[in-house]
Amino acid sequence: MNTEAYDVIIVGAGAAGMMSAIEAGKRGRKVLLVDHSKKIGEKIRISGGGRCNFTNIHTKPNKFISQNPKFVISALNQYTQNDFINLIKKHNIKFHEKKLGQLFCDESAQQIIDMLLLECEKANVVLKKEVIVDDVGKKDEGYFITTNCNQYIANSLIIATGGLSIPKIGASNFGYKMAKKFDLDIVETLPALVPLTFSEKILAKCKELAGLSVEAVVSFKKTFFEEGMLFTHRGLSGPSVLQISSYWKLGDNININLAPKLNLFQSLESKKKLEPKKDINLIISEILPKRLAQIICKENEVSGNICELSSKKIKQLSDAINSWAINPTGSEGYRTAEVTLGGVNTNELSSKTMMVKKHSGLFFIGEVVDVTGHLGGYNFQWAWSSGFVAGQYA
Ligand SMILES: Cc1cc2nc3c(=O)[nH]c(=O)nc-3n(C[C@H](O)[C@H](O)[C@H](O)COP(=O)(O)OP(=O)(O)OC[C@H]3O[C@@H](n4cnc5c(N)ncnc54)[C@H](O)[C@@H]3O)c2cc1C
């Protein structure tokens, strides 16, 4: 088997890996970028419904979850959302803000992949696909990887193999295995930005309402998100549920406010005085979609004129709408999760360089690290920022 020497080897040609390759290559480093997949940038391709929500104009450290919330500050400052927007503009990729600062390509996510591949080419990055890395280790002043094709050595090794979600498009546990091999602590990994599942009674309600979407505030303890919520055949989904899934802990309740703009108890009590003969089903149907209103009224055994309802009954009904507390039984798991919570403990890494503190020349970047963004382009921004930083120091 031949041994080829490079300055930098990067395993994983996703968002973070390509960004680090470009930056290291621009510095004149001889870079090898390897991936086990046949197609490069698959997660970028399928992201944002095929249009890639590539960053968020409101990127701030508080949009990221990590055991050390301050860890992201340095990388986000070294490479900001505006830096990535400028790169997109340089390549004449048209984009738009959808909502809440989320930027999407006007045309296709493939434009982002093509842009990154072009930048890799300009930076003389050697890209090898369908490479199976059998072994990785430390050698003299650097690192080696043994693959199905060759052995490669380099002073710097960057692990950018991402998280565990969507295994069928190339996700693997390689990065976590490498972290263990180099004796690094790993924060427990869990599927995140993922639909939640429920036991039979609630599931039956979700199935009956499948396809219905409402604006809701979904909260877990003090954390809440006000965005769309979707009933599905498997449980609950939609942005507000995906967001809370990153915080929710098994065994605990989440709380859903289906009419966040309204204090329903007060409103129904005053309706009782002003329009006593109005039908309660009709009143609730003016607040919530009809199907949902009917189910909630039935569940709470309310019907007839509002004046016939006791304050206790009105309170029960209002709570079912303003404060629906439910206990998820789990999530749909890595099959549909957008990201992996947890990962390489940030205490093991320099926040300035992304280099492992106890192994000079070894870097971990992107989703494999214990940094998880909120929904809305933040996960890609973390990939760009952490990749950029490693590319400056590898
Ligand atoms: C359906 C979906 C939609 C998403 N939409 C968005 C969005 O719109 N906006 C947003 O910000 N985030 C989104 N995300 C999250 C985002 O895609 C990831 O956070 C981001 O891609 C992480 O970048 P990364 O480079 O760390 O990992 P990845 O992009 O996953 O790249 C890892 C690379 O490593 C390779 N690899 C894995 N194992 C090995 C191995 N053993 N050997 C060699 N190579 C290996 C993989 O093939 C892959 O190319 C979405 C995720 C999913 C699943």
Say what the pLDDT of residue 227 is.
Answer: 96
Q: How far is the CA of 193 from the centre of ligand 1 (A)?
A: 13
Beta carbon of 367 within 6 Å of any ligand 1 atom: yes
CA–CA dist 365, 370 (Å, integer): 10
Say what the pLDDT of residue 1 is.
Answer: 76
Say what the pLDDT of residue 355 is.
Answer: 98
Say what the pLDDT of residue 174 is.
Answer: 97
> What contacts 351, CB < 8 A, 6 or more positions away?
70, 71, 72, 73, 74, 75
Q: Using 70 as the pLDDT threshold, list the residues of the chain that sit under it.
A: none
CA–CA dist 368, 179 (Å, integer): 9
Residues present in the chain in total: 394
Q: How many Å separate Cα 16 from the centre of its chain? A: 14
Q: Is 383 helix (H, G, I), strand (E, B) or coil?
A: helix
Beta carbon of 37 within 6 Å of any ligand 1 atom: yes
Tokens of 394: 């590898």
User: Which protein residue has the closest C-alpha to ligand 1 atom 10?
Assistant: 377
Residue from 161, 336, 344 whose mutation best tests the ligand 1 pocket (most atoms within 8 A of CB) = 161
Say what the pLDDT of residue 231 is.
Answer: 98
pTM value is 0.97
Q: Which domains does the chain have, with CATH numbers?
A: 3-191+338-393 (3.50.50.60), 195-331 (2.40.30.10)
* Helix or strand (DSSP H, E) at 32: strand 31-34
CA–CA dist 316, 320 (Å, integer): 6
Say what the pLDDT of residue 138 is.
Answer: 95
Q: How far is the CA of 20 from the centre of ligand 1 (A)?
A: 14
Q: Is 336 helix (H, G, I), strand (E, B) or coil?
A: coil
Beta carbon of 374 within 6 Å of any ligand 1 atom: no
Beta carbon of 46 within 6 Å of any ligand 1 atom: yes
Q: How far is the CA of 256 from the centre of ligand 1 (A)?
A: 30
Say what the pLDDT of residue 222 is.
Answer: 96
CA atoms within 13 A on the CB side of 52: 24
Beta carbon of 387 within 6 Å of any ligand 1 atom: no
CA–CA dist 314, 163 (Å, integer): 47
Residue from 379, 385, 388, 389 whose mutation best tests the ligand 1 pocket (most atoms within 8 A of CB) = 379
